[in-house]
Amino acid sequence: MKNITLTIDGQQVIVPEDYTIIQAAEKLNIEIPALCYDPNLEIAAACRLCIVEIEGSHKLQTSCSTKVKEGMVVYTESEKVVMVRKELLQLLLDSHPNDCLTCQKAGECLLQKYAYRYEIKFKDHQGAKRPKLIDTSSPYILKDNSKCILCGKCVRTCNQVGERQVLSFAERGYDTRIVLDADQTFATSKCVSCNRCVAVCPVGALIDKRQLGKTRVWDADRKTINCKVCAYGCEFEVLSKNKKNIAIRAKSPSNGRPLCLKGRLTTELMNLDNPDTPYRKIGGKFVESSWAKTLGLSDIMEKIEDVEKSKKSD
Amino acid sequence: MSNSIGEVEGNEVLFVIGSNATEAHPIIGNKMKRAVKNGSKLIVIDPRRTELAEMATLWLPVNSGTDAALINGLMHIIVKEGWHDKEFIETRCTGFENVLEVIEQYPPEVVARITGISEEILYETAKLYTSTKKAGIFYTLGITEHTTGTANVMNLANLAMLTGHLGIENAGINPLRGQNNVQGACDMGALPNTFPGYQNLSEVKNIALFEEFWNVKLNPNNGLRIPEMLDEALKGNVKAMYVMGEDPVLTDPDANHVKKSLENLDFLVVQDLFLTETAKFADVILPATCYAEKDGTFTNTERRVQRVKKAVEAPGECRLDWKILSEIATKLGAKGFDYKNSEDIFNEIRLTTPSYRGITYKRIGKVGIQWPCPTEEHPGTPYLHKGTFPRGKGLMIPVEYEAPAELVCEEYPILLSTGRMLYHYNIMTRHSKKLDDIRPYELAEMNPVDAEKLGVKEEDFVRVISRRGSILTRITITDKVKPGMMFMTFHYKESPVNELTNSAYDPITKTAEYKISAVRVEKVEKVEKELELAK
Amino acid sequence: MITFIMNGKKVEVKEDISILEAARENGVDIPTLCYDRELSIFGGCRLCIVEVEGSKKLVASCSAKVREGMVVYTESERVVKVRRDILDLLLSNHPMDCLTCEKSGECKLQDYAYRYGVREGSFKGERKNYAIDSLNPVIERDQSKCILCGKCVRVCSEIQVTSAIAFTNRGFNSKVTTGFDKPIDYKNCRMCGQCITACPTGALINKQLKGIRPWEVKKVRTTCPFCGTGCNFDLNVKDGKVVGVTPNPDSPVNGKSLCVKGRYHTDFINSPDRITKPLIKKDGEFVESSWEEAIRLVVKSLKDVKEQYGGDAIAGLSSARCTNEDNFVFQKMMRVALGTNNVDHCART
C-alpha cells in the first residue's frame, strides 16, 4: 500500500493511505477526543467531537471518517476546533444529569474526561433534560437513558454478533433513544446479557450491575485476565480492594472476541472471594439460580458423582 | 549524626547551634518544633533570630565566629559547678586534663565579652544542657563554615563527652548534613584522603587492600581538596578537571578566583543536567540524568541508605552518570568497569566498604538501613558509640578561641553571613518554575536600623561590596538580623554572593568562611542602568 | 487486652485505644472525614458514629475508647441513616462539581456519597460562595468546597507547627483562613502543602497536579534529591513524564510530611533548559556532538595530560547530589583509570 505524508499540529507523519486522520494522529501520540469512535466498530461520525481543522477546507472535518491525503496540514487543537468542541460538550452536559458524585462510571467516563480537559461545567438551565427512563429489570445490566449521549456504540457492537442484534435506535430528534428489540426490557427482550454494550458505553448509560456500588475505577486494584471457558479467551479485569477480589469487569470486545454471560459468570466464580448469586432468564424474567444450573453444569456434576461413586464401590 | 532523626522528638533538651533547621532541613525542623510544642526545652545559638530562635527557651545571639569561646565558657561553668559526668569521662574518654587546662582560661566574664552573651544566660544554658541525659547537640554549617570549623566540631564533641551525652538514645552530636547524598559521597570515598568506607590512604594496608580489590597499582599520596585543586589550576600544576554535578563557580567562595582557575585549565569536562555557570568554562559538556531517571541509593544524614528508583526515561541522549564514567575509564584502558546495572556497583561497594557489607538492595526495602551494618543479619545502627568509640576511648582535644579571618572595619562595616533558605536548594531549584515563582530573586536581610541609615526601603536594590567583588541585590528589612549584620543566600546567579565571600579556609578541612565576610552596602540610584551593566 | 463484640464478632485489642482504631485493626472500615491517626482527635465530622448497646446516643468512634464487653455495631440501620443525613447536609452546602473537580477520584466526600448512595443534597437553601484563592504558584484554595473538618488547621499546627491557618467566624459563616483573611503566600505560610494532603475534599489543591486525574498516574517511590534529611515520596508519572509528588505514608523519616521543595520541585526534571546532547566547545561556542566524538575527545585529552604531566595533573569533582553508585564509580575512575587521588566533592559547602 502507498504511504502518505501529512502534517498534524506541526509534526510530520507517514502513514498508509487508508488511514484516517485520527489514526495518523494516534501515531504521533496526539489524542483527538472522540465519543462515538471505536477502531473495532464501523465509523459513525456522530459525536462530532473529533473534528479537526484542515488547511484549505472551509468546514471542520471529523477526523474519524476523513482519510489522510498527501501533503495534508491538520490542526487538532486550533482555537476554532476547541471552541466547537466546547460547545458540543456543553450541549451534551446540558441534557445530562449532574451525577458524577455517585455515578458508577466516574473515573472512566469519556464525557467527564473531556469536560475536564476542556474545562466545561454543568450549568443551571430551565430547558428540558433527557427523561429518566431506567431499565432495572436485569440483575446484570442497568440502563439509564437519561445518561445516554446517543453515540450508538452499543448498537453497533450488539449488531456485530449475528444472533444477538438486540439494540437499536428508536424515535427521532430529541426523543431518540436506544431500545431493546421492539422497546422491550432486558428481561423481556432476547438480550443474552453478554455485556458487549456495557464494555463500550463511554458514559454511565449502561452499567454492569454486579459491579454497582462495590468500587469505582480509582478505588480498586486491577488485574487483567483471560476467560478460560472457550478458545476466544475474552479479556476481563479482576477488581480488588483490601486484597479481596470484589468484581469482574468485561474489557472491550476487540479482536473478534465475543464476550458472553457464561464466560463472565465462570470468571466471576473462579476469581471472586464472595461472588453474588447468579440469575437465569426464564420466561421473560430473571430468576435466582444455583451456579451449577446457571453454568449448565448440573448434568455433568451428577455424572461425575455417579462415576466416582461407582469407582469407589468397585 | 550519631543518633537518628526519629529520636529528635524524644530529646528533653535540644542544643541547636549554627543550624537554621526549619529552612535548611524543614522536616527535621518540624520535628524540633513539635518537640518544643510537647514540652522539650530548646537552646538556640545563632546570630540570626531564626524561626527556632523565636520558639527557644534560651536564644543566644552570639557574635559571629565566637562559637569556640562560647563552648569553652559553657564547659568552664559545667566543670566549676560539678555538672560534668565524671564516670563517663573516667571510663570512656582521655585528654580531659588538657581540656581542663584550656577552659580554665574562659571564665564567664571573659566569654561574655567575646560572645556578647550575658553571664547569666551562659550559666542558664550550661545548667539546662546538663539537666538531663536526653540532650542532643544539633549543628549545621554555622559551625563548620568558619576558619575554625574543625576546632568548633571538636569542641562540641568535648562538650558532649564532658557531660556524657553520647552513646545513648535521644542525645549525641548530630550534624544535619546539607546535601541529599553528601553522607554517601563521603562514605564512597569521593575524598582525596580516603578510600570507600573511610579507609585511610595513610595506612599501607588499606592501599594493599584496594590494590587487591581492583587489581591495579594505586597512587599512595593524598590528593588535593577542592580549594587546592583550584589553587593548583591557577598555578598551572593541575591541567585538566572532570566535574560531575557540581557548580563551584556559584557555590565556592571568592567566585572570581574560581573562574580564573578554571580558565587556566587545558581541559575541563563537565557532566551535568544544565548549562551551569561552571559548565560555561568547559571544553566538553556531557548530558547526565537526574535522580528521577536513575536507579541507585542515597545515604541520608542519619546514615540511612535508601533507594532511588527510576520513574521516567531521561530526555534526549542523556546518559546515566556511572555509565558515562565507566565507558571513559574503560577507554582509558582500565579494567573492572563492566557493570551491568546499579545493583552490580552496589555489590562492589558492599565488598569494599565494611559498614555497608550487610546492606543489599533487597534488604533496603521500604525503610532503608542505617550503617554500620556489617553482616546481612545485622539490623543496622540507629545510634553510634554505644559502650565504646571506634578508636576505643574518646579523645578530648582542647580548642582555643581564634577570631574570624575577616573582621568588620571602617571601610567594610557590615558583617555578611550566607546560607540557604526554605524555597531553594543550592542551584537546581531555580530550574523549577513553581519554586522560582515563589521566590524569584534574592532578598538580602538587613536590619531596620541599617536600612534607615542607608535610606532604602523594602525590596529596593543595593550594591554590596567586599574586598573581593561587588554585586547587586534587593533587600528585605527585618530584625531577624542584628544591626551591622546582613544575610544572603547563594541560590541566585543574578546576585552571586560568592563573589563577595572570603576564601580563607579552615586549615584541616579546607572549608571556607562562608559565614563571615566584611562588606559595605551602597544605595543604588539608577537601578536600570546598573542592571544593564550587570548583564 | 480488652475483649468486646463488634458487628457480632468477638474482637481482642489493646487497652486504651478508640473504637475506630480497634475497627481498623480488624479490617472494619468506619468512614471518617476529620480523623487522622497522626493528628489530635477533633470529633467534628460525626461520620464515624457507631451504635453501642446500652447507650442511647450514637457514639463518635474516633474519640470513644473501647471498654471490656461492649457491643458495637458499625453499620447498623440507625448508624447508616444518620451517616446518610450527615452526608446529605454536607452535600447540600457543597458545589456539585465532581465532573471537573480536581479532587475527583480521591475525594472522601465523593467516596462516602457513593458508598452510602447519597446522590445529592436534599436541603435547598443558601450555599457557601467564596472567591477562589489562587494567587500563589502552588496552592489553590476553594473554601466553597471546605467541609470544616479542620484537618488542615491541625496538620499546620501539630505537624508543621506553623499555625498559618485557623477557624474564623461562627455557624454558617465559619471558615478556615489565614491571619486577616489574606491570600496564601510565602509571607504568611511555609508553602509545605501538608494541608493539601490532609484535605479530604477539593478545598485545597496542589496546582502542579491540576489537569491530571489521580487514577491516571503511576507512582514510583524514591528519595528526595535535596537536603540530607532523606525524605521519601512518590513521584507521580503520567505518559512517561513526572507530573508531581505525593507523599508516601511508609516513608521512614518523614511519613506523610513534605516541605515546599520536596513537593513542588519536579518541573525542573522536564525543564526545556536540560542539556540533552553532548556539547563540544569550538571557537568559543558550544556545538552539539555525538557521544562517540565527545567521549573520544575526553579520553584523548585526559590521556594526553596523564602521559605528559602524570595523573596528579588531573583533578575530579564528584557530587553530593549523585547516587552512591555514581560516586563510587567516579572515585574509582580517578584512582584506577587516572592514577590520582585528586577527588573531592562539596562536602564542605
Collect all residues of chain C within an 8 Å Cβ-Cβ radius of residue A29: 239
Task: State which amino acid sits at residue B487.
Answer: F
Say yes or no for a CB contact (<8 Å) between A100 and C120. no
* B330 and B475, same domain (yes or no): no
Q: How far apart are CA B427 and CA B490, in angstroms?
A: 8
Q: What φ, ψ does residue A179 adopt, rounded to 5°?
A: -125, 165
* B213 and B357, same domain (yes or no): yes
> Dihedral (C-alpha) A69, A70, A75, A81: value to the nearest 10 degrees?
-20
Cβ-contact B462, B473 below 8 angstroms: yes
Asked whether residue B503 carries a pLDDT value surpassing 90, the answer given is no
Q: How far apart are CA A91 and CA C271, in angstroms?
A: 38
Query: Count of domains in chain B?
Result: 4
Residue A2: left if φ>0, alpha if ψ -120 to 50, beta else—which one? beta
In a domain, B208, yes or no: yes
H-type alpha helices, chain C: 19-25, 77-92, 108-116, 151-154, 194-198, 260-264, 291-309, 324-332
Cβ-contact A9, A30 below 8 angstroms: yes
Q: How far apart are CA A300 and CA B391, in angstroms?
A: 79
Give the gap in angstroms from C-alpha A132 to the nearest C-alpha of chain C: 15
Say yes or no for a CB contact (<8 Å) between C91 and A101. yes
Q: How far apart are CA A77 and CA A51, in angstroms?
A: 9
Chain B, 88-127: which have a CB under 8 Å from a chain C CB? none
CA of B238: which chain C residue's CA is closest? C313
Task: State which amino acid sits at residue C147.
Answer: I
In a domain, B228, yes or no: no
Give tens-digit pLDDT for C292-348. 999 999 999 999 999 999 999 999 999 999 999 999 999 999 999 999 999 998 865
- Which of B378, B393, B422 delimits the end of a domain? B378
Place of cell 453499620: C75
Residue in B34, B226, B332 closest to C337 by CB:
B332
Give the gap in angstroms from C-alpha B248 to the nearest C-alpha of chain C: 8
Going by their DSSP bridges, the two strands B135-139 and B414-419 should be labelled as unpaired
Touching C (3+ Cβ pairs <8 A), the chains are: A, B
pLDDT of residue B390: 79
pLDDT of residue A311: 82
Q: What value does the mean pLDDT take over residues C263-269?
A: 92
Task: State which amino acid sits at residue A259.
Answer: L
Domains of chain C by start residue, with CATH: 2-89 (3.10.20.740), 132-211 (3.30.70.20), 214-270 (2.20.25.90), 275-304 (no CATH), 310-349 (no CATH)
**Full residue range of the structural domain in which residue B430 is found:** 414-534
Taking one residue from A and the other from C, the number of pairs with CB-CB distance under 8 angstroms is 61
Give the gap in angstroms from C-alpha C107 to the nearest C-alpha of chain B: 25
In a domain, B408, yes or no: no
Cβ-contact B491, B497 below 8 angstroms: no
Q: How far apart are CA C313 and CA B240, in angstroms?
A: 7
Question: Is C339 near chain B, with CB under 8 Å?
Answer: yes
In a domain, A234, yes or no: no
Collect all residues of chain C within an 8 Å Cβ-Cβ radius of residue B176: 227-229
Collect all residues of chain A within an 8 Å Cβ-Cβ radius of residue C100: 115-116, 119-121
In a domain, B230, yes or no: no
Give tens-digit pLDDT for B14-56. 999 989 999 989 999 999 999 999 999 999 999 999 999 999 9
pLDDT of residue B260: 92
**Full residue range of the structural domain in which residue A29 is found:** 3-77
Place of cell 458514629: C49
Long-range contacts of A282-291 (CB under 8 A, 24+ apart): A284/A187, A284/A188, A285/A187, A286/A137, A286/A138, A286/A139, A286/A140, A286/A186, A286/A187, A291/A265
* B13 and B161, same domain (yes or no): yes
pLDDT of residue C83: 97
Note whether C touches B: 3 CB pairs or more under 8 A: yes
pLDDT of residue B296: 95
Say yes or no for a CB contact (<8 Å) between B240 and C315. yes
Give tens-digit pLDDT for B63-103. 888 989 999 999 999 999 999 999 999 899 888 899 899 99
Say yes or no for a CB contact (<8 Å) between B185 and C136. no
Say yes or no for a CB contact (<8 Å) between B246 and C240. no
A49: cell is 467531537
Handedness of CA B509, B512, B513, B515 (dihedral sign): negative
Say yes or no for a CB contact (<8 Å) between C119 and A115. no
Say yes or no for a CB contact (<8 Å) between C215 and A107. yes
Q: How far apart are CA B15 and CA B28, in angstroms?
A: 14
Say yes or no for a CB contact (<8 Å) between C100 and A116. yes
pLDDT band at C94 (very low <50, low <70, confident <90, very high): very high
Q: Which residues contact C165 (CB under 8 A, 6 or more apart)?
A: C152, C153, C156, C176, C177, C178, C189, C195
3-state secondary structure A217-259: HHHCEEEEEECCCCCCCCEEEEEEECCEEEEEEECCCCCCCCC
* B312 and B445, same domain (yes or no): no
C143: cell is 473554601
Question: Is B26 near chain C, with CB under 8 Å?
Answer: yes
Residue in C29, C114, C239 closest to A102 by CB:
C114
pLDDT of residue C22: 95
Collect all residues of chain C within an 8 Å Cβ-Cβ radius of residue B275: 273, 275, 286
CA of C339: which chain B residue's CA is closest? B219
Collect all residues of chain C within an 8 Å Cβ-Cβ radius of residue A100: 98-99, 104, 110
Strand, helix or coil at B15? strand
In a domain, B409, yes or no: no
In a domain, B518, yes or no: yes
* B267 and B363, same domain (yes or no): no
Residue in A29, A93, A101 closest to C113 by CB:
A101
* Closest CA relative to residue C247, chosen from C195, C186, C323: C195
Give tens-digit pLDDT for C195-252. 999 999 999 999 999 999 999 999 999 999 988 899 999 999 999 999 999 999 999 9
Residue in B5, B219, B287 closest to C277 by CB:
B287
Q: What value does the mean pLDDT take over residues A145-149?
A: 95
| Residue B47: CATH number of its domain | 3.40.228.10
| Residue B363: CATH number of its domain | 3.40.50.740
pLDDT band at B530 (very low <50, low <70, confident <90, very high): low
Note whether B touches A: 3 CB pairs or more under 8 A: no
Query: Count of domains in chain A?
Result: 1
In a domain, B390, yes or no: no
* B170 and B50, same domain (yes or no): yes
Say yes or no for a CB contact (<8 Å) between A120 and C110. no
Q: How far apart are CA C292 and CA B286, in angstroms?
A: 11
* B274 and B324, same domain (yes or no): no
Give tens-digit pLDDT for B284-341. 999 999 999 999 999 999 999 999 999 999 999 999 999 999 999 999 999 999 999 9
Give the gap in angstroms from C-alpha C127 to the nearest C-alpha of chain B: 33
In a domain, B202, yes or no: yes
Q: How far apart are CA B234 and CA B424, in angstroms?
A: 31
Residues of chain A that touch chain C, judged by Cβ-Cβ distance less than 8 Å: 29, 93, 98-102, 106-107, 112-113, 115-117, 119-122, 213, 216-219, 242
* B124 and B33, same domain (yes or no): yes
Q: How far apart are CA B117 and CA B138, in angstroms?
A: 20
Give tens-digit pLDDT for C8-61. 999 999 999 999 999 999 999 999 999 999 999 999 999 999 999 999 999 999
* B276 and B294, same domain (yes or no): no
**Mean pLDDT over each residue of chain C, to the nearest integer:** 94
Say yes or no for a CB contact (<8 Å) between C295 and B328. yes
- Which of B355, B378, B401 delimits the end of a domain? B378
Q: C99, C127, C205: which to substitute to probe chain A, counting the most A Cβ within 10 Å?
A: C99
Residue in C27, C97, C119 closest to A99 by CB:
C119
Strand, helix or coil at C287? strand
Q: How far apart are CA A296 and CA B184, in angstroms?
A: 65
Question: Is C214 near chain B, with CB under 8 Å?
Answer: no
Collect all residues of chain A within an 8 Å Cβ-Cβ radius of residue C214: 218
Q: What value does the mean pLDDT take over residues B172-200?
A: 91
Give tens-digit pLDDT for C127-182. 999 999 999 999 999 999 999 999 999 999 999 999 999 999 999 999 999 999 99
C120: cell is 445529592
| Residue A69: CATH number of its domain | 3.10.20.740
Collect all residues of chain C within an 8 Å Cβ-Cβ radius of residue A122: 96, 99
Q: Which residues contact B453 (CB under 8 A, 6 or more apart)?
A: none
Give the gap in angstroms from C-alpha B78 to the nearest C-alpha of chain C: 31
Q: C251, C286, C318, C338: which to substitute to probe chain B, counting the most B Cβ within 10 Å?
A: C318
Number of H-type helices and E-type strands within chain C: 8, 16
A263: cell is 464466560
pLDDT band at B495 (very low <50, low <70, confident <90, very high): confident
Give the gap in angstroms from C-alpha A215 to the nearest C-alpha of chain C: 9
pLDDT band at B387 (very low <50, low <70, confident <90, very high): confident
In a domain, A66, yes or no: yes
Say yes or no for a CB contact (<8 Å) between A101 and C120. yes
Give the gap in angstroms from C-alpha B117 to the nearest C-alpha of chain C: 28
Residue B109: left if φ>0, alpha if ψ -120 to 50, beta else—which one? alpha
Q: How far apart are CA C47 and CA C39, in angstroms?
A: 17
Give tens-digit pLDDT for A234-290. 999 999 998 899 999 999 887 667 889 999 999 999 999 999 999 999 989 999 999
CA of C317: which chain B residue's CA is closest? B243
Task: State which amino acid sits at residue C225.
Answer: P
* B181 and B170, same domain (yes or no): no
pLDDT of residue B259: 92
Residues paired with residue C12 on neighbouring β-strands, in sequence order: C3
* B302 and B320, same domain (yes or no): yes
Q: What value does the mean pLDDT take over residues A153-178?
A: 91
pLDDT of residue B148: 81
- Which of B356, B378, B400 delimits the end of a domain? B378
Asked whether residue B490 carries a pLDDT value surpassing 90, the answer given is no
Q: B202, B262, B312: which to substitute to probe chain C, counting the most C Cβ within 10 Å?
A: B312
Say yes or no for a CB contact (<8 Å) between B313 and C240. yes
DSSP state of C65: B
Going by their DSSP bridges, the two strands C49-52 and C59-60 should be labelled as antiparallel
State the pTM of this model. Answer: 0.89
pLDDT band at B250 (very low <50, low <70, confident <90, very high): confident
H/E stretch holding B59: strand B58-60
Q: Which residues contact A278 (CB under 8 A, 6 or more apart)?
A: A265, A288, A289, A290, A291, A294, A295
* Lowest mean pLDDT segment, chosen from B427-431, C68-72, C235-239, C249-253: B427-431
Say yes or no for a CB contact (<8 Å) between C98 and A218. no
Question: Is B365 near chain C, with CB under 8 Å?
Answer: no
Beta strands in C153-312 (DSSP E): 165-168, 175-178, 204-206, 218-223, 232-238, 241-246, 279-282, 285-288
Cis (ω within 30 of 0) for the bond into A275?
no
Q: What value does the mean pLDDT take over residues B359-365?
A: 91
* B355 and B248, same domain (yes or no): no
Q: What value does the mean pLDDT take over residues B478-505?
A: 87
CA of C261: which chain B residue's CA is closest? B423
Chain B, 492-511: which have a CB under 8 Å from a chain C CB? 509-511
pLDDT of residue B145: 82
Residue C244: left if φ>0, alpha if ψ -120 to 50, beta else—which one? left
CB atoms within 10 A of CB A29: 9
* Closest CA relative to residue A61, chosen from A28, A39, A84: A84
Q: How far apart are CA C121 and CA A196, in angstroms?
A: 34
- Full DSSP string of C109-160: HHHHHHHHT--S----S-------B--SSSEEE-GGG-----HHHHIIIIIS
